[in-house]
Structure 1
Amino acid sequence: MKNSAPILGTVAALALLATPLAAQQTADAIDPEAATAARADKDAGRPVIADDWMVAAANPLAVEAGAAVLAQGGTAADAMVAVQTVLGLVEPQSSGLGGGAFLVWYDADSGEVTTLDGRETAPQAATPTLFQTAAGEKMGFWDAVIGGLSVGTPGTPALMETAHRKWGKANWSDLFDAAITLADQGFVVSPRLAALVAGDAEKLGRFPATAAYFLPDGAPIAAGTALKNPAYADTLRQIAAEGTRAFYTGPIAEGIVATVRGAEGNPGLLSMDDLALYTAIKRPAVCAAYRAHDVCGMGPPSSGALTVGQILGMLDSYDLASLGPESPVAWRLIGDASRLAFADRGRYMADSDFVPVPTAGLVNPDYLAERAALLSGETALEDVAPGAPEFDHALHWADNVDISLPSTSHISIVDGYGNALSMTTTIENGFGSRLMAPGGFLLNNELTDFSFASHSAGVPIANAIAPGKRPRSSMSPTIVLKDGAPALVIGSPGGSRIIGYTAQAIINYLDWGMDVQAALSAPHVLNRFGTMDVEAGTKAEALTGPLTDLGFEVNARDLTSGLHAIAITLDGLQGGADPRREGIALGN
C-alpha cells in the first residue's frame, strides 16, 4: 500500500499496469480508445451511442472492467460485479465491500422488474439510545460518524453474489480479475480522489491503517500517482475462490469486527454473528405512473422510489412540457411537489420489516391527485405537512429529519440479452466511518442514517434504530418502463438530494425532450425542506429573482450529482455520465 512515481492517463495507465494476459483480454474485448472517445462525447455534451450493450458508472477503469465482461457475453449482473469491485478500489470514498447497495433489475425473459436490498443492518446489540449521550441528548453528527459506532453490517458483497446467482452467466471468479490486477499493480489516483483525500485529511488521519493508505508519509495521495492495495487484492482473491462466505465468516470478518470494536475513542458493536446472519433480500419494485410510463425503483427501507414516485405523480396533471426548463412556474411546481413528498418521507418511510409503511397508499393515484391539488395556487406553499395516505394500520409517527451528506455512487447497465440493471451503492458519508479493515476496504457509517432520537414528544419515530433493522435510505436506482419495456435506466449519488436529482433528470428527458446526456448535464434546482437550492455557477442562478418573487427562500450552492443513465430508444442505446464527476458511458 504505497505511492509510486506519477504516470500518465487513465487508459494508458491501465495498459501499463495490467498483466500481459489481462491487458490482452481487455484489448480483445473493447476498443482501447473507447474510453477516450466516451470522455470526449461527455465533454462535448453528446450521448454515447451503441447497439447491443452499455455501462455507465463513476470511474473509467470501473466502466472498462464492466464493458469487458459485457463484450465477452456476460450479463448486466456479471458486469456489475466487475464494476463494483473496481469502484471499491479506485473510488473508495463512495462505495465498496464495506458498504451497502440497492439494485433494480429488469429481466428480459420474464418482463419482471424486481429489486435486491443489500442495505446494511444494525448490530444485534444496538439499542434505541445508540447515538445519545449519557444525559440523553443526541450525539453530535461527526462524533457519531467517525469510528466504530456508526458501522452497520455490510451488504454489498451479499448483494453481488445474490445477483450473480440469479442472473449471471459468467464464471464468478473471473469477474474479480480487473480489480485484483489494479490492486496488485497499482491504479492511477484520479484528481477527484486526490482532492477529496486532501479535504478530509484530518478525519482520515485519525486511525493508523486509514492514514497509512491515504496519507503515506503524512501527506495526502497525489493525483497521477499509482496506488497499490495488495490487502484488497487478497480479499478479492478469497471471495473469488470461496464466494462471500469468505467475507462474512473467517479471517476477513474477524478483521472487520476487530476494527469496529477496537476503534479508539468510538468503538462499535458489530459482531461475528451480525456478519454471519446477513442476507440480501429480494423485494418487489415500487412503481408510479408518469407520462404514460412506469417509474420503478427500490421500496422500503429506501425512500427513493416512493419519494421520486410521489414527486412525479403529483406533477403528472401539470403541463411541464409547455412551461419549459427555464420557467419559474415549472420549478415552483417541482419544488413544492418535492416538499410535499419529503414531508411524507419524514413521517412514514422506514424499514417495512420493522414498522408499517403505507407503501401502496403513498403512490396511490387518488392520494397523489389530492396532494397535487395543493399545487394549484400561484405562489410557493406557505407550509407543508404530511398527508394521510390510505393504510390498514393506525399510523402515529413523529417526523424525522436526518442528516444525509452527499456521497455514494451509481451504476447503470444494459446487456446484450436485453436485461437492465440500475444500482446505487454506498458507504454513506465520504470515506464512511474512516475505518479501514485489514482487508483493504473502508467501512460504512450507515447507522447514522437512523434517527438519533427514538421518539419526539413521546411519539415514536419510524426510522429509529433497532437490532437487525436497515436504516432509511435516499438511494433511488430507477428503471423507467414504456409499455412494459425499459426506456431509461438511471440513478445518482448525493445524499437525500439523490431524490431530486433523479426526478429532475427524468423530467428533463420525458417532459423537456433532452437527450440523455443533456438531461444529466442540465443545472439543478432542488427543494427538500423549504429552501430552493439552485446550482451555483449555472444558468439556474437566473431563477433566483423569479423564485424569490414566488415566495421561496433561494440559495445558490454546489449541487454535485453523479447521475449515470442509459436510454433505450428505437435507434439503439444512448448513454450519459454526469459532467460533475469523472464517470463515462461505454457501449457497443
Structure 2
Amino acid sequence: MLRSVLTGVFVVIAASAQAQQAADAVEPEAASAGSFQSISPDVTAALAAKAAGQSVVADTWMISAANPYAVKAGADVLAAGGTAADALVAVQVMLGLVEPQSSGLGGGAFLVWYDGATGALTTFDGRETAPLAATPKLFQDESGEPLKFFDAVVGGRSVGTPGTPALLAEIHARHGTQDWAALLAPAIELAEKGFPVSPRLAQLVAADAERLASSDTTAAYFLPEGTPVGVGQTLVNEPYAQTLRMLGAQGVDGFYTGALAREIVATVQGANNAGVLSEVDLAIYTVKERPAVCASYRAHEVCGMGPPSSGAIAVGQTLGMLEGYDLSAGPDDVTVRRLIGDASRLAFADRGRYVADSDYVPVPVKGMLEPAYLAQRAELLAGDDALPEVSAGAPAFDHALNWADDEAIELPSTSHISIVDATGNVASMTTTIENGFGSRLMVGGFLLNNELTDFSFRSHREGVPVANRVEPGKRPRSSMSPTVVMKDGAPVIVAGSPGGSRIIGYTAQAIIGMIDWGLDPQQAAALPHAVNRFGTYDLEAGTDAEALQEGLADVGYETNLRPLTSGLHLIRIGDQLSGGADPRREGIVLGD
C-alpha cells in the first residue's frame, strides 16, 4: 500500500571555457509534470503526493524513476518479490518506449549496485564505445577544426556501440530472480496497445521536428504525415514490441549479433553523415565491473561511478572541498552558494584536464580525492569573493602527466532510476542516449545514441593531447553521477539525475540538502538550482534562486537565469524508506 506524508571567472584556458559554455546555447529538456492518473490508483496517489511536495514513505521496497508507466512496471516486479535487478530491466525497457528521447536500448548506462546479502558495493559500466574504425579526427573538418555540435550529432557519425542491453542482461544474470522474458512483457503489451503521448514528449518532438525529419523511419514515428505527435495522441510501436520479443526469446545475443545488429550497422553506415560502427563493434561489446569511487563527507561515504564517468570524482571533490566549511545557513545564503559554486568550478577544472576512460589514459582518481589534496584546494575558497580564475590542480599522480584541457559539449538529456528492494539490494542507474533523441536514427523501434559527441572534438591543444579524445574502442567521458551514500557500512541515500554536465551540481546539491540542510528527499529534489561549472553562475529561472542574483554579482559572479531541468530521483534509507521525484519532470515514487 502506498503511503505518503507531508514533510516539511573564468577558466584559465579561455578557449576551452568558451567551448564548454557553448552548451548553454541549447535549451535543456523541457520540464513537465505530465498527466498519468488513469494508470492505477497507486500512481494517482503518487502524483498527488509529488504535487503536494510530499515524500513517499514505505517499509519494504521503493522505486523512483522518470515516468509513471516505467515506475509502475518496476513496482509490480518488486511487489511480486523481484529484486532491484529485475525491476531495472522492466523500468528501462518501459522508459525506452514512453520516454524514448532520453534513454533506451540504443544507449548506455552506469549502475551503482549495493548487494544486500553481502554488503558489497560495486559499479557496472555499460557506457557506449567508439567504433574500432574511429579516429581522433572523427569530429573535425578537413582543416582540423571541430565540427559544429549538431553537424556532428545528427546521423551515423555520432553513434557508439550501445551498452544498455548488455548491462541489463549482466545485472539480471547476477542478481535477478524473475524470468527475463516476463520482465519485458509489460513494455511489449503497451507498445502494441499504444500509450498516450505525454506533454513533455510532445513538446520535445515539436521543438526538434526539423532534426527528427532527417531520417525517414524516425520521421514516420514522431512526425506522422509530417505533423509532430500531440499530447494525448496514442503512439503505437510495433517494431519495438518485436525487438523486445526477440530479446525475450534469444537473450541479449539477439541484439549484438544477427539480423538486428546488421540493421543497426546498415542504418549507421547508410545515414547522411555516415558513421563507422561495424558488426564487429557490436559483437565484441562487454560490460565492465569497476570498483566504486568513494569520497568522505561529514561521516558519510559518497560513492559512485569512476572513469569513464567524471561523476563520482567531481561530486566527491566538490563535497570534499566543502567538508571544512559550515553550510548550515542554507541554500538562500550567498556565502554558502559562493562556497559550493567555486568548489564546483575547481572540480570541473580537474575534470576537464584529467578525466577520461581509464582503460586508455591514466587518471589520478586516488590523488584527486586524497583528503590532503582537497584540503589544499579548499584553501582557495577561504576569501569573501568569487575566485577570479580557476585552473586544474596537481593531484598526486603515478604516471607521466601532460594533458591539455578538454573541449567537449555534453547536453542535458538522460534519465535516472533509484531502487531499493525487499532484501536490501540498492540500485542507482543513470541511463542515456545523450542529446535528446540521440542521433535521430531509429532501428527496431528505438533511437540510436549520439554518445560519441561526449568525446573532445579537439584531439590536441598546442601539441598536447586531450585525455578525452576519440580513440578506437574507447568510452567517452560522462558526467552521469549515479550515487549511493553510505554511513557506517550501510546505504542511507540513493541519488542521481539527468542534466548533461550539470548532473554533477544537481546531485551534489541534493546530497548537501539531505545531509547539511535536513531536507527530506522530495524537498531536496525540489530545491531551486544554482549551478556553477565554468565561471558563470546559472540560476534556475522562475524560482527562489533568482533572489541570489544580486548577491552573487556583488561577490564577483556573472549570473544567468535559465531553465535548469534536473530529474532527480532520491531515496533515503533508515527505519523507513522515504523517496522523492523531481517536480520538473514526469517521474514519481512508489513503495510498499
Q: 1:350-361 maps to which residues of 2 (within 5 A)?
A: 350-361=356-367
**How far apart are residue 136 of structure 1 and its match?**
1.4
Q: 1:505-516 maps to which residues of 2 (within 5 A)?
A: 505-516=510-521
Q: Deviations over 1:387-424 (max 9, x none)?
A: 01101112100001311110000000000000100000
Match of 1:286 in 2: 293
3-state SS, counterpart of residue 10 of structure 1 = coil
Match of 2:559 in 1: 554
- Contact kept in structure 2, 1:261 and 1:270, CA below 8 Å: yes
For 1:519 and 1:209, the matched residues in 2 are separated by: 40
Q: 1:240-389 maps to which residues of 2 (within 5 A)?
A: 240-264=248-272, 266-321=273-328, 323-389=329-395
Q: 1:364-443 maps to which residues of 2 (within 5 A)?
A: 364-437=370-443, 439-443=444-448
For 1:235 and 1:210, the matched residues in 2 are separated by: 16
Q: Deviations over 1:204-255 (max 9, x none)?
A: 0111000000000110011111111010001001111111000000011111
For 2:559 and 2:368, the matched residues in 1 are separated by: 28
Higher deviation after alignment, 37-46 or 129-138: 129-138
Match of 1:57 in 2: 65
- Contact kept in structure 2, 1:66 and 1:83, CA below 8 Å: yes
**How far apart are residue 470 of structure 1 and its match?**
0.1
Partner letter of residue 424 of structure 2? G
**How far apart are residue 9 of structure 1 and its match?**
5.9
3-state SS, counterpart of residue 423 of structure 1 = strand
Match of 1:73 in 2: 81
Kindly indicate whether residue 568 of structure 2 is the aligned counterpart of residue 563 of structure 1.
yes
Q: Deviations over 1:349-399 (max 9, x none)?
A: 000000000011111111111111110111100111100110111210000
Partner letter of residue 182 of structure 1? L
3-state SS, counterpart of residue 37 of structure 1 = helix
3-state SS, counterpart of residue 157 of structure 2 = helix
Q: Deviations over 1:496-525 (max 9, x none)?
A: 000000000100110001111000001000
Match of 2:18 in 1: none
Q: Choose which of 222, 226, 236 in structure 1 pairs with 2:234.
A: 226
Match of 2:121 in 1: 113
3-state SS, counterpart of residue 131 of structure 2 = coil
For 1:55 and 1:206, the matched residues in 2 are separated by: 37
Match of 1:29 in 2: none
Q: Choose which of 453, 478, 482 in structure 1 pairs with 2:483.
A: 478
For 1:521 and 1:209, the matched residues in 2 are separated by: 38
**How far apart are residue 10 of structure 1 and its match?**
3.0
- Contact kept in structure 1, 2:36 and 2:43, CA below 8 Å: no
Q: Choose which of 36, 46, 60 in structure 2 pairs with 1:10.
A: 36
Kindly indicate whether residue 483 of structure 2 is the aligned counterpart of residue 496 of structure 1.
no
3-state SS, counterpart of residue 401 of structure 1 = coil
Consecutive unaligned residues of structure 2, counting only runs of 5 or more, are: 1-33
- Contact kept in structure 2, 1:451 and 1:463, CA below 8 Å: yes
Partner letter of residue 96 of structure 1? G
3-state SS, counterpart of residue 572 of structure 2 = strand
3-state SS, counterpart of residue 123 of structure 2 = strand
Match of 1:586 in 2: 590
For 1:391 and 1:552, the matched residues in 2 are separated by: 32
3-state SS, counterpart of residue 182 of structure 1 = helix
Partner letter of residue 92 of structure 2? Q
3-state SS, counterpart of residue 442 of structure 2 = coil
For 2:408 and 2:132, the matched residues in 1 are separated by: 22
**How far apart are residue 338 of structure 1 and its match?**
0.2
Q: Deviations over 1:469-493 (max 9, x none)?
A: 0000000000001111111101000
For 2:301 and 2:45, the matched residues in 1 are separated by: 33
For 2:470 and 2:516, the matched residues in 1 are separated by: 39
Match of 1:154 in 2: 162
Partner letter of residue 410 of structure 1? H
**How far apart are residue 109 of structure 1 and its match?**
1.1
- Contact kept in structure 1, 2:407 and 2:458, CA below 8 Å: no
Q: 1:204-215 maps to which residues of 2 (within 5 A)?
A: 204-215=212-223
For 1:414 and 1:287, the matched residues in 2 are separated by: 20
- Contact kept in structure 1, 2:407 and 2:457, CA below 8 Å: no
Partner letter of residue 305 of structure 2? M
Q: Deviations over 1:329-352 (max 9, x none)?
A: 000000000000000000000000
Aligned positions, number: 559
Q: Choose which of 530, 534, 541 in structure 2 pairs with 1:529.
A: 534
- Contact kept in structure 1, 2:36 and 2:44, CA below 8 Å: no
- Contact kept in structure 2, 1:10 and 1:188, CA below 8 Å: no
For 2:130 and 2:212, the matched residues in 1 are separated by: 24
For 1:167 and 1:304, the matched residues in 2 are separated by: 25
Q: Choose which of 194, 198, 202 in structure 2 pairs with 1:190.
A: 198
**How far apart are residue 11 of structure 1 and its match?**
4.7
For 1:122 and 1:206, the matched residues in 2 are separated by: 23
For 1:283 and 1:441, the matched residues in 2 are separated by: 28
**How far apart are residue 54 of structure 1 and its match?**
0.6
For 1:407 and 1:302, the matched residues in 2 are separated by: 16
For 2:219 and 2:60, the matched residues in 1 are separated by: 43
- Contact kept in structure 2, 1:261 and 1:268, CA below 8 Å: yes
- Contact kept in structure 1, 2:37 and 2:47, CA below 8 Å: no
3-state SS, counterpart of residue 579 of structure 2 = strand
Q: Deviations over 1:260-280 (max 9, x none)?
A: 00002x000000000000011
Q: Deviations over 1:7-54 (max 9, x none)?
A: x96353x5xxxxxxxxxxxxxxxxx31111111110110001111001
3-state SS, counterpart of residue 161 of structure 2 = coil
**How far apart are residue 133 of structure 1 and its match?**
0.9
Consecutive unaligned residues of structure 1, counting only runs of 5 or more, are: 1-7, 15-31
Partner letter of residue 53 of structure 2? G
- Contact kept in structure 2, 1:210 and 1:434, CA below 8 Å: yes
Match of 2:548 in 1: 543
3-state SS, counterpart of residue 380 of structure 1 = coil
For 1:241 and 1:54, the matched residues in 2 are separated by: 29
3-state SS, counterpart of residue 274 of structure 1 = helix
Identity in percent:
66
3-state SS, counterpart of residue 148 of structure 1 = coil
Match of 1:84 in 2: 92
**How far apart are residue 135 of structure 1 and its match?**
1.6
Match of 2:21 in 1: none
Match of 2:472 in 1: 467
Partner letter of residue 110 of structure 2? F
3-state SS, counterpart of residue 229 of structure 2 = coil
Q: Choose which of 99, 103, 106 in structure 2 pairs with 1:98.
A: 106
**How far apart are residue 447 of structure 1 and its match?**
0.3
For 2:37 and 2:44, the matched residues in 1 are separated by: 8
Q: Choose which of 459, 469, 478 in structure 2 pairs with 1:454.
A: 459
